[in-house]
Amino acid sequence: MRWHKLLPLRLKVLTPVVVGTGEKCTSLGFVPDGTKVLVVDEHRFIRLLTEKQRQLLLDWLDESLSKATLNHFLREELKMPQPAQWLRQRKAVRYELPLASKAQHPPRFFVCLKTPDHRPYIPGGEIKGALRTAVLAAMLTGNALDQLVDEIDKISQKPQSQRELNQIGQKTEWKLLRAEAMDAHNDLFRGLSISDSEPFLPSSLRLYAAKRLGMTRNVTVFTEAIAPENETKVTLSIASPDRWLEAAGLTGKGEWLDWNKLAEALYEHANAVLDFLAQKFPQMKQPIQELKEQNQKDAPLLRLGWGQGFLSVTMTAPLRRQNPNAYEALVKALAQVIGKYQRAQPKNFPKTVWAALDQNDQPFAFFGWLKIVPT
């Protein structure tokens, strides 16, 4: 396969972006310092302790692990009046996290993917996955949509497992992007490659409180995120639409190997998702409108993170618009097999949405929105 076009793209962060690892930093890994938390270099910290202090730390952890905080150990056990200052002076701080939400120090928080020198970045695969979702939404028309509706009619007749529901999405995806083949070698997106982003500076990170809107119970977590107003770059490589497309049975879909076509899909998809969010979460009307104003055909928006799967808010948009009855049938099937949907507030299906909280503990932004600008 030959790459015949390399397109540099600039990514502008519009709302907090979380590219998580699944890992958490506990209260043994950071120390509060006013409106910041200092994430500690644990290896250097241990080396700084004397043999006696290390043993004291081990004994203390055995006694109080469930409620242990590094700040408490330094203040109460080692009698340090200013732990943050001591850590800075001895260069035992990996990076500092300003609190973007209401000033409170969490017991733990999710961490972002970073380089070894603690610089967050966005993997190319994350961007490509979101782009793939937008293209699938654009393709889901005509016969493809009719066939999906037929599949949903079948499942509505009897209870289904979550695995069977997921297979509906998988089959539709293979039909549209792989000419119904299971082998990823036949996938249209083989013709697109996106580099990892250039790393952001550690100072681009903030610590946000996040609340799940639409839940009957109050759920708040804390997470690192790349703050708005930061920028990075990626490179989109597009393959020559030559014999590999014919071999994969995708000759008629070579038009998608073009930035203008991809940008159109991103633009339309972003509008559809934002319209859905405006309908379901009217309290977020202003930030949604601000995002819509940023969405342009030649510089569209891209949404990363939660909610990019086939059975999510994104891929059900075409179905909801064009066949409300099939959409409702899918809603009922999902509610039967997926417990989290049963806990969602009425009419907030297909899922709840995470929002970042401001200094007044109120939701002010959805996570994951970027603007793509060709350079």
Domain edges within the chain:
3-19+121-374, 21-112
Torsion angle in degrees (nearest 10) through CA of 27, 212, 17, 118: 10
pLDDT at 248: 79
Three-state secondary structure string covering the chain:
CCEEEEEEEEEEECCCECCEEEEEEECCCEEEECCEEEEECHHHHHHHCCHHHHHHHHHHHHHHHHHCCHHHHHHHHCCCCCHHHHHHHCCCEEEEEEECCCCCCCCEEEEECECCCCCECCCHHHHHHHHHHHHHHHHCCHHHHHHHHHHHHHHCCCCCCHHHHHHHHHHHHHHHHCCCCCCHHHCHHHHEEECCCCCCCHHHEEEEEEEEECECCCCEEEEEEECCCCEEEEEEEEECCCHHHHHCCCHHHHHHCCHHHHHHHHHHHHHHHHHHHHHHCHHHHHHHHHHHHHCECCECEEECCCCCCCCCCCCCHHHHHHCHHHHHHHHHHHHHHCHHHHHECCCCCCCCEEEEECCCCCEEEECCEEEEEEC
Res. 298 pLDDT band, cuts 50 70 90? very high
| Range 15-32 average pLDDT | 94
Q: What is the C-alpha separation between 150 and 153, in angstroms, rounded?
A: 5
For 145, the token pair is 């949509």
pLDDT at 308: 53
pLDDT greater than 60 at residue 233? yes
pLDDT at 66: 64
Q: What is the C-alpha separation between 310 and 174, in angstroms, rounded?
A: 12
Are 265 and 272 in contact, with CB atoms under 8 Å apart? no
pLDDT at 334: 65
**Whose CA is closest to 277, among 265, 267, 287, 264?**
287
Residues 199-211 pLDDT 10s: 999 999 999 999 8
Res. 357 pLDDT band, cuts 50 70 90? very high
pLDDT greater than 70 at residue 288? yes
**Range of lowest pLDDT (86-95, 128-137, 225-234):** 128-137
Buried b (16+ CB within 10 A) or exposed e, 305-336: bbbbbbbbbbbbbbbbeebeebbebbbebbeb
% of the chain residues with pLDDT over 70: 85
Q: What is the C-alpha separation between 319 and 329, in angstroms, rounded?
A: 11
% of the chain residues with pLDDT over 90: 50
pLDDT greater than 50 at residue 314? no
Mean pLDDT of the chain: 85
**Is the pTM for the entire model greater than 0.85?**
yes
Q: What is the C-alpha separation between 349 and 331, in angstroms, rounded?
A: 7
pLDDT greater than 90 at residue 327? no
**Range of lowest pLDDT (55-64, 145-154, 362-371):** 145-154
Res. 307 pLDDT band, cuts 50 70 90? very low
| Range 143-163 average pLDDT | 71
